[in-house]
Amino acid sequence: MEQRWVARSYERYMRPVLQRALTRQPLDGDSEFVLYRSLLGKPEGTVLDVGCGTGLLARRLAHEPDAPPVAALDVSRAMLEEGLAQVREAGVAVDFLRAEAPYLPFHDGVLGAVLMSDALPYVADLSRMMMEVHRVLRPGGRWVASTYASVGAPRALLHRGVGLHPRGEAELRREAAAAGFVRFERVSLPSLLVVKAEKGSAQTPR
């Protein structure tokens, strides 16, 4: 992912190929965005796109009328450089940051929402990831993420061998609750799981 030619071809070729390989029936781009956008609600603060790649969804969020500030985070310098070129061409404002999840370089309670489209399977330490997301969100802030459906034991071992971590609803629900999230919801599609949870206030029951 650090090669410039990879970054330049990512949105048109590599991202669709990866989605098709993992989910078999990926959503088209418009349907994918509408789903994530509906689950994000009306963020009261900056939206952070974790594992943003070249910032495709971040750009679409920033294009919206009255959009909140949008930030995008990825570990790949090449992806971020391509993302910066794309937002300049699109004439929108997205702040790009280079960092490696699960650690998020933000103060406590400052973000309105955290989006993790396709990024969750690449995170090994889910517990730490959930605690970090909960830490940086404002009360009422939402976490929205997607992952491909968990697979059988033999395939799961193979996937983990190449750095992928498929997870099911039960594990995601459990880790979200352990981190302090409330109002967990999920949308289950063929080979794809999309989840949403909120950071409650001190008075919000789990």
Model pLDDT for residues 166-180, shown as the tens digit of each residue: 788 999 999 999 999
Better pLDDT: 125 or 155: 125
Mean pLDDT, the chain, rounded, equals 84
Output the pLDDT for position 148.
77
- Read off the pLDDT of residues 100-154 as tens digits, 9 standing for 90 and up: 999 999 999 999 999 998 888 889 899 999 999 999 999 999 999 998 765 554 4
Report the 10 Å Cβ neighbour count for 170. 9
What is the second-level CATH architecture of the domain 4-199? 3-Layer(aba) Sandwich (3.40)
pLDDT for 6:
57
Q: How far apart are CA 132 and CA 197, in angstroms?
A: 14
pTM, full prediction: 0.84
Q: At 159, is the pLDDT very low, low, confident or very high (cuts 50, 70, 90)? A: low
Q: 32, 106 in Cβ contact below 8 A? A: no
Mean pLDDT across 86-94? 94
